[in-house]
Amino acid sequence: MPQSKARTVEEYLAALPPSRREAIAAVRKIVLDHLPEGYEETMLWGMIAYVVPLKRYPNTYNRQPLEYAALASQKDYMSLYLMNVYADQEAARWFSEQYTASGKKLDMGKSCVRFKRVDDLPLGLIGEAIARTPLAEFIERVEASRRGPHPKRTSA
């Protein structure tokens, strides 16, 4: 699916084929049920996004809200983006270990968990991962990453 032009979550879901709509809606329910207080659901970058509102943290490099998590229907799979797992090595290790322990096969890029069916996901773990990082802690991690040393880039 090309990047969605939907302006609302409802428009996004309505544009999906029925099987994708059901899967995305099921994962969305888990996210909403476990989303810590203060984050907001919106559309961002053609995906359903869960963000730190600009009124809470306006100091972003691109003037867009900080993305905490997101859901998207791609061409060959669906994705759940977990920025709190990506941005924290301990959380990434925990998530990987728990995913493996669930008996499900983890297909993950840097921040995105790819899945073809909702049954591919350990939904309890997804809920735990979403609930793991309160808003203030996520903002602090962002601030710390800005203060910390940045690795030098090397040319390939």
- H or E stretch covering 123: helix 123-131
pTM of the model: 0.89
Residue 87 vs residues 38, 133, 156: alpha-carbon distances, Å: 19, 11, 25
Overall fold of domain 9-140: Aspartate Aminotransferase, domain 1 (3.90.1150)
Please count the helices (runs of H) and the strands (runs of E) in the chain: 6, 5
E-state strands within the chain: 40-44, 47-52, 66-73, 78-82, 112-115
Q: Encode the chain (156 residues) as per-residue pLDDT tens digits.
A: 557 888 999 999 999 999 999 999 999 999 999 999 999 999 999 999 999 999 999 988 899 999 999 999 988 999 999 999 998 899 999 999 999 999 999 999 988 999 999 999 999 999 999 999 999 999 998 888 888 665 554 454
- The pair of structure tokens assigned to 46 is 């053609």
pLDDT of residue 150: 54
Residue 95 vs residues 63, 68, 100: alpha-carbon distances, Å: 30, 16, 9
pLDDT of residue 3: 75
Domain boundaries, the chain: 9-140
Determine the residue type at 48.
I
Residue 67: CB atoms within 10 Å: 19
146 phi and psi angles, rounded to 5 deg:
-75, -30
Determine the residue type at 11.
E
Dihedral angle computed from the Cα positions of residues 58, 10, 26 and 96, in that order, rounded to the nearest 10 degrees: -30
Q: What distance in Å separates the CA atoms of residue 107 and residue 119, rounded to the nearest whole number? A: 13
- The pair of structure tokens assigned to 98 is 């728990």
